[in-house]
Amino acid sequence: MTFPCTMYTADSSALERTVPFYTKLHWHDAVEILYFRRGTFQLTVNTRQMEICQETICFIESGSLHAIYSERDYREYALLFDPFFLAASHPDEAGKMLIDPLLQGTLRLPLILDRSNTAFEEIREEFVRLQKIFSETGKAHSDQKILQTPASQLRVRACILNMLAALSENDLLNISRQDADPRIDALKKVMLYIQKHYTEKIYLRDLAQIMNMNEQYFCRFFKKTTGKTPVSYINEIRIRHAALMLTRQQDHSVSVADVASECGFGNMGHFITEFRNITGTTPLDYRRTWSEKDPADRKE
């Protein structure tokens, strides 16, 4: 069974050429701890948008919509873990007072910690220990590292528990007093609908209906929350699927026109324009570049 904890790294200094760092608006069941080590970042969490300009640690709770963008000169680490792996097999006071309430959502993690916070240094030291564990013992998969040894897994669990202890001692774990924003849950349904129906004609009125909004208000809310218009978001999803098809060896016999059609584009010129806007190259050149790569380097 795979250990339910992994770390990702985004470091512009490790790249051959500078490219922006971007994670699209998404959510997952895992808790995510972000360590912004260097650079300026735009962070979106649910409907809140923030600019991170200093060394900062952020806690992204399970189910929260979030996205990150940085233009250049950045270094960022992301630790993702299933919060249930922290639960003790035998109940104790820590489990009853801290772990269980966190799992149940009645106790909340703080969103932002920076150097002005009394717990920052201790939390940062634990994260640096985590980073070192993954660096020394983790198995790399692209920008991701996974732990495989029992000792390293125990040390990672201990570091996360130490973080929770520091948050508790500094009164940074908050009792949940806010109900979930129904607009965020509805927005997730819209995004899932787009993922499921991207090959088809998608009408704004249908997306707006999912959120029980009129089209004009829906478009404003979607743009404010995601940073993209609904049409731009739909096109990006389609282009990402098209790019995947163009790189897969089993799809090399499929024409570019057929790829465009299968990914929801009825107009070839529009497909090429959108593909170039998002990837920086044409579909044909993109396929040619990937066909020249060593098969071991292809990430499908």
Domain 5-175 has CATH 3.40.50.300: no
68 within 8 A of 42, measured Cβ to Cβ = yes
What pLDDT does residue 298 have? 40
- Residuewise pLDDT in 10s, the chain (300 residues): 578 899 999 999 988 776 789 888 899 999 999 999 999 999 999 988 899 999 999 999 999 999 999 988 999 999 999 999 888 777 788 889 999 999 888 899 999 999 999 999 999 999 999 999 999 888 877 667 888 889 999 999 999 999 999 999 999 998 876 666 788 999 999 999 999 999 999 999 999 999 999 999 999 999 988 888 999 999 999 998 999 899 876 667 889 999 999 999 999 999 999 999 988 899 999 888 877 654 434 443
Query: What pLDDT sits at residue 190?
Result: 96
Map out the domains of the chain as residue ranges. Answer: 5-175, 182-297
CATH of 182-297, one of 1.10.10.60, 3.90.1200.10, 3.40.50.720, 3.40.50.300: 1.10.10.60
| pLDDT value at residue 143 | 67
pLDDT at 142: 65
Q: Which pLDDT score, from 0 to 100, does residue 177 have?
A: 61
Residue 279 is predicted with a pLDDT of: 87
- Whole-number pLDDT of residue 179: 62
